[in-house]
Amino acid sequence: MTARSVTGTAHAVRGAGPAVVLPQCNVDWADFGLRALVERFTVVAVAPRGFMGSDRLAPADYSAEQLTGDIERVLDDLGIDSYAALGYSLNGAVASYLAMDNPRVRGVVCGGFPTTTYAALAASRRAQLAERQRDPQAWAETTATLDPAALVTFWEAVDRLPPAALVDRVGCPVWSWWGGADPLFEEFGGVAAHRAAIEARGLPHRELPGLDHHQALTAVEEVLPEVADWLEPHLRADPQPARRPAPGGDPQPADDGRSPTDADPAGPGSSSSRT
């Protein structure tokens, strides 16, 4: 994995080929092999400022535009013109937000987030943060992973969107997966309601029966071969190169094979690289 520095934004690159971008807000994607992606694509994990190993800002300086702008500035620095976005839970919401009205994004893969039924996210995440703050260890883990102000600011931006905008305003193909026993979905209408909304839109998806929120993340390596096959035609169809040559040459593929971390929307995680 190769790390570079762009305006205090931590990111890392693996593989070669068309680009797949993974927002890294509370999951360290270095903890996953991601072999099915790395063998076929350039995989870029980016932590916007306010999250993981990136710089922190004053609370008033956070915004959804700052978050997505941080990601795209990294891609500009890497010479990436077009890409797919992939994430899980909070990172899936960020991937979907990044793709709204954005012609650079060729496909979105969103796991573990109810893109069709979410509502009042900022209020629920504030309550979750308040609960964590009562436990010093949990709070220390949370603040080491992200700035709570950055998290709440993003969810406030999502709350201002029309219902289901994280699907309906995404102008590229969308693929989703989730656990059939995910309690997060129960906060927002339930798995069945989300499944029905996804199917009504004719969108490809995979439900993992019996898996909860964390288990559906740890099953990502099982899902990724199908995801990679789905992404291939959408990324290869782009007549523009996904990545322009950059000084110093392309990073080489790497696979550390480590085990995954938690992906609670306001929860712990760790970042092993900083740029």
**Rounded distance between C-alpha atoms, residue 95 and residue 84, angstroms:** 9
Q: Decide: helix, strand or coil at residue 259.
A: coil
Q: Is residue 257 part of a domain?
A: no
In a domain, 49, yes or no: yes
Position 195 in a domain: yes
Q: Report pTM.
A: 0.86
Query: Distance between CA atoms of 192 and 37, rounded to whole angstroms?
Result: 29
Asked whether residue 117 is assigned to any structural domain, the reply reads yes
215-262 pLDDT, tens digit per residue, is 999 999 999 999 999 999 999 875 444 443 333 344 333 333 333 344
Q: Is residue 9 part of a domain?
A: yes
Any domain includes 253: no
Q: Is residue 252 part of a domain?
A: no
Both tokens assigned to 234: 């959408």
Q: How many domains does the chain have?
A: 1
Parent domain of 126: 2-236
Phi-psi region of 156 (alpha: psi -120 to 50; beta: other; left: phi over 0): alpha
Instruction: Reduce the DSSP state of residue 141 to 3 states and report it.
Output: helix
Give the confidence band of 141 by pLDDT, cuts at 50, 70, 90: very high
pLDDT digits (tens, 9 = 90+) for 19-70: 999 999 999 999 999 999 999 999 999 999 999 999 999 999 999 999 999 9
Q: What is the mean pLDDT of the chain?
A: 87
Within a domain: residue 229? Answer: yes
- For residue 124, the domain's CATH number is 3.40.50.1820
